[in-house]
Every structure is written in structure tokens, then in C-alpha cells.
Amino acid sequence: MRDFAFTGGRPDPGTFPTQELITASAKALEKIGSDLVNYPGEDGNLQLRELASLRFQRREGIPLSLDNISLTSGSMQALDLIFRAYLNPGDIVLTEELVYSGTLGLLKHLEADIVGIPLDYADGMDMMALEQQLNRLKLEGKCPRLIYVTSNHQNPTGAILTLDRRKRLLELADAFDLLIIEDDCYGDIDFIPNVTPDSLYKLDPSNRVIYVASFSKILGAGVRLGYFVASSSQRNQIHSGRWDLGTSALASAIVAQFFTDHLEEHLEKTNLVVKAKCQAVLDTLDSNVSDLCSWTKPRGGLFLWIELPQETDMNKLRKLAGQKGIGFSPGSAFHCRHEPIKAIRLAYAYCAAEKIPQGITYLCHAIREAQR
């Protein structure tokens, strides 16, 4: 059976820079040498923090303060540390109604009260709906603790929060005294130049935004390197619950050296490949199920969202697809209340390009057969 893997937020394996990382490893070890006998500290490797600052400047036009950057083992550790620092059981967290299943799992583990806000698949969280929900909660005497939002290439829909909505979100956060966690882990996976507006962190005048990002999504999920950016008081609160003695200095030094030497060319290469894979999925869907389904048209990121007919038997679809070796993620896994919605998420970057048309064609046949 052929394996058509359309699950998991993994980059393209064919562009993984093995030889370049070997070279970077040698250069990094020559630089840091015996310093590796020391603990890396809570902020982490200086060169990788410098790279994070330059990466932000590349997108946003301004650098990040190195003192505000803390490295973590992937962006999920950053979220774990932040949520544990600011949330108590029962605290209300506002998110997009559809949100990354890992974030949902973490929030549920921490016993947060998750309130989902409707979103447009192109333009992100609906600010009118957010304002209405905030006013409703206020009338009930409830005070949300924070807002979690993926502003660029949202998982699972691929939405990009518009500039006007970003500005309105900051206004609402100020009016209702809310902290915003901006998850930009898919930053730099752009199919169109300058497709994303200024970040919430850049636009924020009041230190209400904590910025989270990842190097793993532009290199390899197994790299496990992310970071968060916050004010000194916020960092102190977040680090008060950190006990790991810092993120791997060796891994950080190698990745910092590689990206210092190759960031632009690596992003250009990988984004072209992932964009082509996404287009292959779109073309195959259009040829086979345009009369049945609707789907998002990503401008970057790793995911595509497909809305299925209400008559779809989801169990039958999964069984039929599985018989052909096709993996996908059910839409209910991303719903803030795990409602049994008729939708699926496809991750298009990992599957080999030559296998995509056949795999998506099999999936389309399964969708047709799964209609009651």
C-alpha cells in the first residue's frame, strides 16, 4: 500500500539541507567548543537569538531586542510556559473557533475555559464577533485572561488576519485589559511576496502581545527550536515556571550558523517547492470534487481546509481513504468544542510531489463514496 501522508505540519523532506547542516555543525563547534560544558541559560544561545531578531527585521522592517527573546524547544514549549504562567484552572481563553489541535489539547490539560470566536477562512478572526463575545462575558461578570491567535497562515484554515482586524484586536485587548499570544510559527512560509501585514507584536503600543515563533517549521519538525518575545516583566513571569535549564546550545548553534549562511536561499527554495505541492492539491481537487466541496486557497503555510457535504459519512471516508494509504486530519480535531463538523485538513508539504495527484484523486473518490 502506498503511503499518502497529508497529516502533520512537516516541511518538505526533499529540501532538508543535510550537507549544509553538516558544514554548519563543524563551523558552530569550532566557535563554541568547550562552552558546551555550561548550561545554556533560560534565554538561550546568543547567535540564534540574533538570528531571530534579524528574521523579524526581514519581515517587519525592525529588529527585536535580544533581551526580549527566549529560546525554547519548539514553539509548543513556548506556549506551554506562557499558558502555565498566566492561566489558572477555569480561566477563560479566547481563540479562533478552529485552532491547532495541539494548542487545544494543552489548554484543556490546563483546565482553561476555551471560548471560540468565528473566523473567515481568508481574513481570520471576526472582530465583530469577538467584541460581541467580550461584551457578553462582561455582562455575565466574567473576565477573559487572554486571547490566542495565529495571525499568519492560520492552522487549520490558512487564514491571514487583515491589518484592520489586527488593529481592532489590539483596541479590544486594550479596552478589555487582555493579553494577546500571537503564534507566528508559520512565518516565512509565504507563497506571495509581502502577503502578511505587520505583526501584532510590531503594532502593539502597550506590551500586550507576546510573540511566539519557530525555526522548526522552516527547517524540520524534529529540530525542536522555537522562541517567544516578551517584555522583561512578562519574561520574568514566564521563566519563573521554567525548570529545563535552557534550550540545547548545540542544536541552537548549528541552526544559527546554517541560517546565518543560508536563510534567504533556503526560504526561496523550500517555499517554491511547498507552493508547487499546494497547487498540485488544488488542481486535483478542482478536477475531481469542485461540484461537491469547497476549500481554502492558501497564500502560504502548510495547510488546506476542505468543507465536505453535510451528507458525508466521516467514518466511511476515513476507512475508504485509509484503504488507499491516505492520511488526513478530521475537522473536529481543530474545533474548539470538538464539534463533529464535516471538514478535513490536508497538510501538503510532506508528501512527495509526484504522489500528490494520485493520492488526492484517491481521496476525492473516497469523498464521493462517503456520501450517504
Listed in order, the ranges of the chain carrying CATH 3.40.640.10 are 18-261
Residue 24's closest CA among 40, 47, 46, 41? 47
In contact, 247 and 226? CB cutoff 8 Å: no
Topology at the third CATH level for domain 18-261 = Aspartate Aminotransferase; domain 2 (3.40.640)
20 in Cβ contact with 365 (< 8 Å): no
**What residues have CB less than 8 Å from 300, skipping those under 6 apart?**
152, 153, 158, 160, 186, 189, 190, 191, 192, 195, 196, 271
* Digitized pLDDT (tens) for each residue of the chain, 372 residues in all: 468 999 999 999 999 999 999 999 999 999 998 899 999 999 999 999 999 999 999 999 999 999 999 999 999 999 999 999 999 999 999 999 999 999 999 999 999 999 999 999 999 999 999 999 999 999 999 999 999 999 999 999 999 999 999 999 999 999 999 999 999 999 899 999 999 999 999 999 999 999 999 999 999 999 999 999 999 999 999 999 999 999 999 999 999 999 999 999 999 999 999 999 999 999 999 999 999 999 999 999 999 999 999 999 999 999 999 999 999 999 999 999 999 999 999 999 999 999 999 999 999 999 999 997
Q: pTM above the 0.75 mark? A: yes
CA distance 317 to 320: 5
> How confident is the model at residue 2, as a pLDDT?
62
Long-range pairs for 61-65: beta carbons < 8 A, 24 or more residues apart = 62/202, 64/229
Tell me which fold the domain 4-14+266-369 belongs to: Aspartate Aminotransferase, domain 1 (3.90.1150)
Among residues 258, 332, 335, 270, which one has the least CA distance to residue 300?
270
pLDDT at site 187 = 87
Query: How far apart are alpha carbons 313 and 119 in whole angstroms?
Result: 25
Q: Where in the chain is the domain with CATH 3.90.1150.10?
A: 4-14+266-369
- β-pair type (209-214, 179-183): parallel
